[in-house]
Amino acid sequence: MSTTTTIRLPEELKGRVAAAAERAGSTTHAFILEAIAEKTAREEQRADLVQEAEARYARIAASGETIPWQDMRRYLMAHVAGSSIARTSTTNGAIASPTPRKLAR
């Protein structure tokens, strides 16, 4: 079911929206609905990201363990380059997965 919501657009913005909708091959109404849906989705993604970041920080604070950036960067660069990556330290030249360490205080 749909409901009606009235929005008041400044004339200049209304003209820009109409022109953009025409360029996109859409009606002004459909263009506005799509814009609202896109903005809503972005905000929901941002909220999810913040929630995930807070949960990860809480896990770090609870465990006191982190991976130093230099170790993680070396690991990520090797992964992107397609290098062999071992789960533990290795003597065969493969990059070892970074190991969490207690936070320095």
**What would the pLDDT profile of 86-96 be if each residue is shown by its tens digit?**
766 555 566 77
Residue from 50, 45, 79 nearest 96 by CA: 79
Report H helices in 7-68: 11-23, 28-63
Domain boundaries, the chain: 8-63, 65-105
Return the pLDDT at 18.
Answer: 98
- Cα–Cα distance for residue pair 56/41, rounded to 1 Å: 22
- pLDDT for position 105: 62
Q: How far is CA 67 from CA 4, 17, 33, in A?
A: 51, 48, 44
Q: Give the pLDDT band (50/70/90) at residue 97.
A: confident
C-beta contacts of 73-77 below 8 A and 24+ residues apart:
74/98
- Helix intervals (H) in 64-104: 69-81
pLDDT tops 80 at residue 66: yes
Q: What is the pLDDT of residue 101?
A: 82
pLDDT of residue 85: 75
> Could you tell me the two tokens for 69?
């950036």
In angstroms, the CA 68 to CA 36 distance is 41
Q: pLDDT, tens digit, for every residue of 9-61?
A: 999 999 999 999 999 999 999 999 999 999 999 999 999 999 999 999 999 99
102's enclosing H/E stretch is strand 101-102
pLDDT at 87: 67
